A and B are shown apart, each in its own frame.
Chain A
């Protein structure tokens, strides 16, 4: 609720004007039946036809005012809803962008996605609706009650006595409703998850003929969602009948009490009659209120899910502070004897599972670090820590002598070029995929394509303006990897990280790529992860990892002599053709 008000507060002036206009429009509408009463009571007896025409004209005029004011107010309400939603979505997306990766993993992409669109949509709807019905209904309600008060205070009090019951039932139901809607939205996360999995695994699912199984799996989440939706729907649908009942019970009471009053000469029948007519107005207003509460509960449930994310704080992201530019880049130390990257006794675990144990190494400017090791030995994790996507449990990571947590994250990532395993391409032009939001000039991109051996780009009639399908589906595995490498090179990085990113390249292309990298990016500090010894053999420092520990370090020759597992790999891969011999 507080969060919602925060987003509405900049629009208070606009909302107030809108609400004022809406109030006028609604009140004017209330006058129309009142004029009718006036014609019947006061004009008809005078038999003045002109007056009748005049009052009739007045009714038309008021109707015209009502329609224009209501439309204006409704539009203003929609504008407020638009602005508030725009901001909420922006903030939510921005928050997610900077959130700790661990938190994103925990919340899951499916859930974040449904919060970003589904929940914000409900909030959008709620804000608009609250302003439209939120004024009209109470005014009709208050207006109805006021008019009845003017008629007869005692009878009105009898009717008003039912309001607490109504308020209580609405309160209890919407209190129950919010968690139910939250559950319902959570079930939608499940649907999102299964659809995402199916979209990404479509080939395997079809290959294994598991379509029926997937249908069953979806059926489970679907049923779960339906069950929750039913529960929420049923609970909310109790509001309407309850309100109608209480209200009409009040009306019955009014008649009975009225009968006593009339009997005692304290009131007259006409007043009870009038009550009947205003009653319709009050009951319509209350029903509108009940509809509003359903929307409100749904919207508040959404807002709750949104706030949950908004209230999280990124702990790893270090924002840039002014005037703290000690280095032009964290990868260009002042003094060449300071290592660009230094790990000191770094330990890291995912949950309870220790992934890296006491990792220490130092990498100097212009050097190349090669990492090799069995799958799951922790190579990619070292890179994730180096990029500060995760933070180590213990130990220190220093970049050019500065602890990584002291370096503003934007500066840290500004001069990095990285390719992950199975990295991400999106449905846009090749150019945009390579430039990746950095506005890299065309000539630099051309160089990057050439260096990355992505000469195929030039074969498209539209060159790098060629549109990629989703996840780059219209490229082959090797073409994707070369484009990703071009992306990494395009920014002229100070630190280049390639995580097993040439696995889909044939040897020839890979060899050319390596030669180019050495020639053109010799001065760039580089981290390479590879399965092929040939890819890292030239590295200044090679780390052989196993089970999250370094079991061998040194250059190729050194490792061949000292590290048996390394030699074993080298022997099998190179058929005995090793450097040392």
Chain B
């Protein structure tokens, strides 16, 4: 049950990922400037606090020698100072949340919109669950990092610089210690980051795979239950789960070294400063007060470095998550790949296929040299054994895929150079695989053409023989179909999708096993409506019930990817070829 989606793709460079992430922030540079300003203001004020405290303490000289005026004054000033600091930092957080949410919103939007524009085949190769994981967990991880870590790093930098200046003022020579430890810190961090990065990447990927499996299995639950294979599926879930938690642990295992190690380097510098400072004191080059103050500042120096060390792993998570998101965004979109720009404003509905060859992958060709000319208003029935290429042919017409060679023309215009949108709008389509979304029945019916009136919608539902059913529901047309459409049978769904197609105004119509789950009585009643629907339209009908195709203007028999017979019902039957065999076979079952 390995995901088939794992492809070996070149890793993105970390700097590229970070630059790209920053470019999102850069779009909101005004907010970024506000945030920067607030960060500086808040931290400068925060640095002012200890000064006030020192001033107040300086006013306390000893018993009966306290300048209470100054003490109270400074005390109140401290309160004010921290009140302002608190207010500023709250506003800062609010700004950062606002900013990061803007980025997240935009990212999600971008990813989703890109997803919608990806070619159909992408969804056949990538687990929906993994895509969801990118849109939710990965972007969420980036968000957490943007809104928290950025402030912390900014604040940290300010504090560190401030403290460094103060220390340099006291005893520049002691700063030499940092000349040793800071490069150590940087080197260590860079080294760790390199080492840990693939682990974080793996962690994101495994969670995505787990979600992919989960999504797949939850979708197939009914079957799993019916076969009583819950145990097996659970144990397979466990395998994915094991990998996901282990990947999480592995990243943590290496990531957990960073915080304590940075602390260690800090502590070492503290130890060195203490020792050398003490020696300097002994030789009278440094006052005792100086040493204490220096240490105080070096602790303030260490604090933010520590904090930063703790969030390094979060930044790592964020960059690996970002990489997954960017990778999705870099998938070539359908439009870019193959949309032409010639408009096709009001197609008449003439279709030509010329020497079309196609295969989903290189090794296996599905369609061989298919040529066909369809005149406006013709009804073309496509029949033939399963796997012969009928649905593939339809997919090519809709440009879900493009032929490897050959040409498809609509009204004499090459579909390949025509705007994708216009090609698709030329067709209305009903597939065997019914699809409805969570929304009211009315919304679903009007999906293809939101401008239809209520009356038209109801007329279409009546024609599709589903009006009675809809009315029997407590909420009628306003009934919400839920995710799985559990309360609607497969056949009813097909009727709904037929009604939906009826409301689409297009010169061509594709019916791919549109009524396969509709019982024949209903189908018969539908016939009038279907006739109405197909009238004056160029139609392509894929069907197994040969009763549906008998009236087609032409029937093409597709077998092993080739058009083997073509003609109307009577001609083909008389010819006694494959179609005739197929046609006669439908009575065999009952003749025994």
Contact = CB atoms under 8 A, between A and B. Distances in A.
Contacts of B490: 375, 380, 421-422, 500
A70 to B, nearest CB: 4
Interface in B510-528: 510, 513, 516-524
B448 A188 contact: no
Interface stretch (A394-402, A444-452, A504-512): A504-512
A532 interface: yes
A248 B82 contact: yes
B241 interface: yes
Interface in A65-94: 66-68, 70-71, 74-75, 77-79, 81-83, 85-86, 89-90, 93-94
A291 B590 CA distance: 74
A259 B56 contact: yes
Q: Contact residue range for chain A? A: 35 or more
Given A210-B448, A259-B66, A534 B221 contact: no
A352 interface: yes
Interface string A40-59: 10011001010011011001
Interface stretch (B17-25, B403-411, B491-499): B491-499
A374 B523 CA distance: 9
B278 A40 contact: yes
Interface stretch (B383-391, B451-459, B529-537, B563-571): B383-391
Interface in B398-448: 398, 400, 421, 424-425, 427-429, 431-433, 435, 437-438, 447-448
Given A353-B473, A374-B491, A474-B124, 16 more contacts: A40-B291, A62-B267, A86-B242, A188-B140, A195-B128, A203-B398, A209-B425, A215-B113, A241-B85, A252-B79, A259-B71, A413-B228, A416-B228, A418-B227, A477-B386, A514-B589
A74 B391 contact: no
Contacts of A118: 136-137, 140
Given A70-B260, A245-B86, A476-B390, A101 B105 contact: no
Contacts of A64: 264
B327 interface: no
A263 B66 contact: yes
A535 B520 CA distance: 13
Interface in B57-77: 57, 59-66, 68, 71-72, 74-76
Q: Which 4 A-B pairs have the closest CB atoms?
A: A478-B386, A375-B491, A413-B228, A437-B232
Interface string B1-40: 1111100000000000000000000000000000000000
A427 to B, nearest CB: 5
Interface stretch (B164-172, B348-356, B373-381, B579-587): B579-587
B400 A249 contact: no
Contacts of B244: 89
A20 interface: no
A569 B264 contact: no
Nearest to B131: A195
B544 A264 contact: no
Contact of B387 (A32, A479, A569): A479
A200 B582 contact: no
A207 B227 contact: no
B259 interface: yes
A491 B232 CA distance: 15
B226 to A, nearest CB: 5
A374 B522 contact: yes
A375 B517 contact: yes
A376 B519 CA distance: 10
B315 interface: no
Given A63-B271, A259-B60, A426-B220, A504 B483 contact: no
A128 B252 contact: yes
22 contacts: A33-B299, A36-B270, A40-B288, A40-B291, A63-B264, A75-B256, A89-B241, A124-B245, A193-B438, A199-B123, A208-B424, A222-B112, A233-B93, A241-B86, A252-B56, A259-B66, A265-B64, A280-B300, A284-B303, A491-B227, A507-B589, A572-B521
Given A47-B282, A206-B424, A537 B4 contact: no
B278 A44 contact: yes
Given A49-B282, A82-B245, A230-B101, A537 B590 contact: yes
A483 to B, nearest CB: 11
B483 A193 contact: yes
Contacts of A200: 128, 435
A199 B128 contact: yes
B137 A78 contact: no
What is the size category of the interface that chain B forms with chain A?
35 or more
Contacts of A5: none
A29 interface: yes
A497 B427 CA distance: 37
A244 B85 contact: yes
Contact of B385 (A70, A198, A478): A478
A534 B590 contact: yes
B346 interface: no
A44 B281 contact: yes
B513 A90 contact: no
B67 to A, nearest CB: 9
B589 A510 contact: yes
B198 interface: no
Nearest to B104: A226
A29 B97 contact: no
Interface string B178-211: 0000000000000000000000000000010011
Interface in B101-145: 101, 104-105, 108-109, 112-113, 115-117, 120, 123-129, 131-133, 135-137, 140, 143
B176 interface: no
Contact of A222 (B4, B108, B223, B299): B108
A237 B522 contact: no
B361 to A, nearest CB: 8
A269 B421 CA distance: 80
B185 to A, nearest CB: 13
A276 interface: yes
B125 A469 contact: yes
Given A93-B241, A476-B387, A208 B504 contact: yes
Nearest to B90: A241
Contacts of B386: 476-479, 481-482, 504-506, 509
Interface string A496-523: 0100100111111111001000000000
A218 B109 contact: yes
A249 B448 CA distance: 63
A36 B86 CA distance: 32
Contacts of A573: 520, 547
A359 to B, nearest CB: 16
Contacts of B44: none
B568 to A, nearest CB: 18
A66 B59 CA distance: 39
A8 to B, nearest CB: 15
Nearest to A428: B1
B363 to A, nearest CB: 8
A430 interface: no
B94 interface: yes
Given A63-B264, A199-B123, A191 B435 contact: no
A351 B487 contact: yes
Given A215-B113, A416-B227, A537-B589, A264 B278 contact: no
Interface string A125-139: 000100010000000
Given A49-B279, A476-B391, A93 B234 contact: yes
Interface in A139-181: none
Interface string B463-485: 00000010011100000001110
Contacts of A210: 447-448
B49 interface: yes
A35 B267 CA distance: 12
A78 B513 contact: no
A35 B93 contact: no
A190 to B, nearest CB: 9
- Of the listed residues A29, A251, A376, the one surrounded by the most CB atoms of chain B closer than 10 A to its CB is A376
A280 B163 CA distance: 14
